[in-house]
Each structure stands twice: as C-alpha cells, then as structure tokens.
Amino acid sequence: QVQLVESGGGLVQAGGSLRLSCAASGSFLNIDPMGWYRQVPGKQRELVARVTSSGSTMYADSGKGRFTISRDNAKNTVFLQMNSLKPEDTGVYYCHCNAQLYTWSSTYDVYWGQGTPVTVSS
C-alpha cells in the first residue's frame, strides 16, 4: 500500500554533488522512519542514512560529514544531499521506509523503492 519513487541519481565526477529524492504515496497512516540504502554488485545492501518524523538522523560512517538526510513530512518525501562524492559512493541507492497502514494495528511494514543509480567517476 506504499509506493516509493526515487529520483536524482546519475553520473558525477569525484568531488561533485547529487541530491536524491524519494516520494511516498499510497494508503497509510504513518511513515517512520525513512532512509536510504546503497547496494553494489557482490555486496549486501547497506544503510546510508535515515531520518525520523521528528527529525532525528542517523548516518553510516561512510557518509558522515558529506551526506545530509532531510524530510518533508507534509509531502512524505525524503532527500539525501551528497557532497564531496567519492568513487566508493557508487552504487544503486534505494529509498526505504516503515509504514503503519491500519488504525487497529501498531505494525510498521517495510517498503522499498526501485532504486536510483549513482556513479562517481575518478
């Protein structure tokens, strides 16, 4: 019941910047938290950053000081500003969220976007 659509990926030189966006749509009561994961061939999908509806953020060590996650609660949209990009940042970035669907259920189900590729050249 939740669809996540990412955008903003692309090809950029090392040292450049990109801003990823992810918009959630569908039928749900609450969506918390929202975040971004990165996956490269041969490796597991890893958390990059997440943000709660109250604004609490968490970053993986790889992005600390370079990445900033933010959220527009009114539009159910999450952003990832990536600065000083490195070739190691290359991968497919997936939007992620937990969403509460029903008033009578306290369960937050997990949803994933389709992914947006980011390639950082050296």
Residue 75 has which token pair? 């539009």
Q: Which pLDDT value is given to residue 60?
A: 98
SS3 label, residue 117: strand
Q: How confident is the model at residue 1 (pLDDT cuts 50, 70, 90)?
A: confident
Looking at residues 82-104, what average pLDDT do you find?
A: 97
- The amino acid at residue 39 is Q
pLDDT digits (tens, 9 = 90+) for 100-119: 999 999 999 999 999 999 99
Sign of CA dihedral 77, 80, 98, 44: positive
What are phi and psi for residue 45, nearest 5 degrees?
-70, 130
